[in-house]
Structure 1
Amino acid sequence: MPRPTPDDDTDTLEDAALTRSVLKAAVADPQRLPETLASYAVRHMGPAAARSVTMTRAAHPDATMTELQDLLLTRGKRRVVSQGALIGGPMTIMAPFAFCAALLSQARVCLELTALGGQDPTVPVRSAELLVLQGVYADVDRARVALSDAALAEQGKAGKKDLRAVEGGPRRGRVATLFELTLRMARVLGLIAPKAEAESEAGGVRPWLVAAGRYVLLGVVFLVGLVAPLVWMPYVGRSYSRTTDRFLDRVLAFYFGESVDRPRRTTRGAPGMAAAMVKALLSLLIPVALVVVVVLADLRVADSHWPVLAVTLLTASFGVAAAWQWRRRRRRRAD
């Protein structure tokens, strides 16, 4: 019988169910998204994080603390980057689910590092510490108060819902709420840079120019991703990698008191990033090749190329997305 590995502790179905549960709670109260994520992560992922660390120690009995940290950091970062990689084309509607899964993966590696440092990743105070490390609150005491308020709000949610129905007060649509929630998660993950970050990275360039350039790039990637979904993979991977590095630096400094001057593995040089670039290029070549075929074959509907091109590009987008998802599921089952 093969010996279990730390990665075997993650149940795909269970993680998917947890993500749906967290997303449902966040949609019900989008203003408390960070508190919801932190509370759910500690309650549902804390025990798994502790087991994962125990298995990692057993699998590497001679590893130093720094080597164990690097193992957890590498595995955790890979898990974050792999979550929600495909959010273009027909899979754009899955963006909230993908972003939520990536945020939970960041919380998971934080809890694993907590356990590696000798602390219990299942106690409630970990939720408050997670909020501090995410930059939501300045200290643990304020985070604890916010978590208590969120818990009280959760208990009274049913009553408030009934009160709104009786009073006939305005209610926001689910689509608008989900859109706002998606934007908030995108900012946390670094897909949309906050203003402070843009100013710090601008240097001699005006911050508004840097922000405008990022939004233009995001818009171009989105439009191209409508017909070639895999072009999102390098963009999302780089953004996840950058923000996860910064988050994990804060985690190491908080739990291990390290200055965190160790070099981080960049996404550009990572084998997974190179593979993502190749897949993105191939997914882009497929619709281009189909367009060339339609034009050269002079395929028309109502004496126009456009209906044929529209159907061709739509079919190519769904086909690439479906093939990628099928291959991904098959690889997971094989592992």
Structure 2
Amino acid sequence: MNEPAVPTAAATSDDGGLPGSLWARMKADPQFAPEHLALEAVRRLGPQARAWAERTRADQPGITDAALADQAAKRFLNHARISGAVSGAAGLPGAVADVGVLAWTQARMVLHIAAAYGVDPVSPDRATDLLVLQKVHKVAETARLALGVAAGRERASRLFAGAANRPLAGVMLKLGVKLAQMAGVRAAKRMFAKVIPGAAMILGTWVNSTATRDLAKRTRQMYAPES
């Protein structure tokens, strides 16, 4: 089975897409793929979100936090709608790449909405928020524990050495399930639909939009100040 191609910047977003090092880390440690993605998102995307919020406020004096959050939600909802079939790979590898891009796009949206409401998008707490908002973990405490484990495994890269000896199909299936869970329960249908010729085109846009729109609503509820 061929490995999924790393999506290109043109196919994903203006930040260059998922880093190749992140794909490698998630494939080597699929059980903690959401945690690895959340940690990397805060490191790479958090500064971009903060810069975007500062730049937009400078360009649009008087813009409200809610209006800024609207811009972020609409921007990344559009990205999510076209994020399917970006890998160019068929079958399971392509499906895994697609849901990985969707989860990364959703993480960008969450961090941008946080920045819109004046919440620091580069704080380590945002990785915890990502995992709770994307329903990987139900509560912040378990999310923090999982992130600590993932960070330790990331540092101890020697623990990943055995990944290359595991059957690729099994690794990709576990990785796909974990990323689909992070991107939204319905995204699992999107992932497995791509394995069936023709089904992906029917479900892709609707599933991506629905999962991302629901996530945007939860994110705003978390970060918007109580009136």
Q: TM-score, normalised by structure 2?
A: 0.79
CA contact (8 A) 2:28 2:160 kept: no
- What does 1:47-58 correspond to in 2, within 5 Å? 47-58=47-58
Among 178, 203, 213, the residue aligned to 1:235: 203
Q: How large is the RMSD of aligned CA atoms in angstroms?
A: 3.1
Per the TM alignment, residue 154 of structure 1 is displaced from its structure 2 partner at its CA by 2.2
Equivalents in 2 of 1:153, 1:86: separation in Å? 29
- What does 1:69-80 correspond to in 2, within 5 Å? 69-80=69-80
Q: Structure 1, residues 128-148: CA drift from partner, whole Å, max 9, x if none?
A: 111111122233232222211
Which residue in the other structure is 2:4 paired with?
Answer: none
**Change in CA separation of 1:34 and 1:46 when aligned onto 2, cut-off 3 Å:** same
CA contact (8 A) 2:132 2:138 kept: yes
- What does 1:96-107 correspond to in 2, within 5 Å? 96-107=96-107
Report SS of the residue matched to 1:15. Answer: coil
Among 228, 244, 248, the residue aligned to 2:216: 248
Q: Structure 1, residues 305-328: CA drift from partner, whole Å, max 9, x if none?
A: xxxxxxxxxxxxxxxxxxxxxxxx
**Change in CA separation of 1:53 and 1:236 when aligned onto 2, cut-off 3 Å:** same
Equivalents in 2 of 1:233, 1:67: separation in Å? 32
Which residue in the other structure is 2:20 paired with?
Answer: 20
- What does 1:265-304 correspond to in 2, within 5 Å? none
Per the TM alignment, residue 60 of structure 1 is displaced from its structure 2 partner at its CA by 2.8
Per the TM alignment, residue 103 of structure 1 is displaced from its structure 2 partner at its CA by 0.7
**Change in CA separation of 1:42 and 1:183 when aligned onto 2, cut-off 3 Å:** same
Aligned length: 214
Q: Which structure shows the higher helix fraction?
A: 1
Percent of residue pairs bearing the same amino acid type: 31
The AA in structure 1 aligned to 2:177 is L
Equivalents in 1 of 2:225, 2:202: separation in Å? 33
Equivalents in 2 of 1:96, 1:19: separation in Å? 15
Gaps of 5+ in 1: 1-9, 195-213, 226-230, 260-335
Which residue in the other structure is 2:67 paired with?
Answer: 67
Equivalents in 2 of 1:222, 1:137: separation in Å? 27
The AA in structure 1 aligned to 2:176 is T
Equivalents in 1 of 2:197, 2:145: separation in Å? 44
**Change in CA separation of 1:81 and 1:22 when aligned onto 2, cut-off 3 Å:** farther
Gaps of 5+ in 2: 1-11
**Change in CA separation of 1:140 and 1:188 when aligned onto 2, cut-off 3 Å:** closer
Equivalents in 2 of 1:174, 1:70: separation in Å? 41
Q: Which has the larger radius of gyration?
A: 1
Q: TM-score, normalised by structure 1?
A: 0.56
Per the TM alignment, residue 257 of structure 1 is displaced from its structure 2 partner at its CA by 4.7
**Change in CA separation of 1:238 and 1:83 when aligned onto 2, cut-off 3 Å:** same
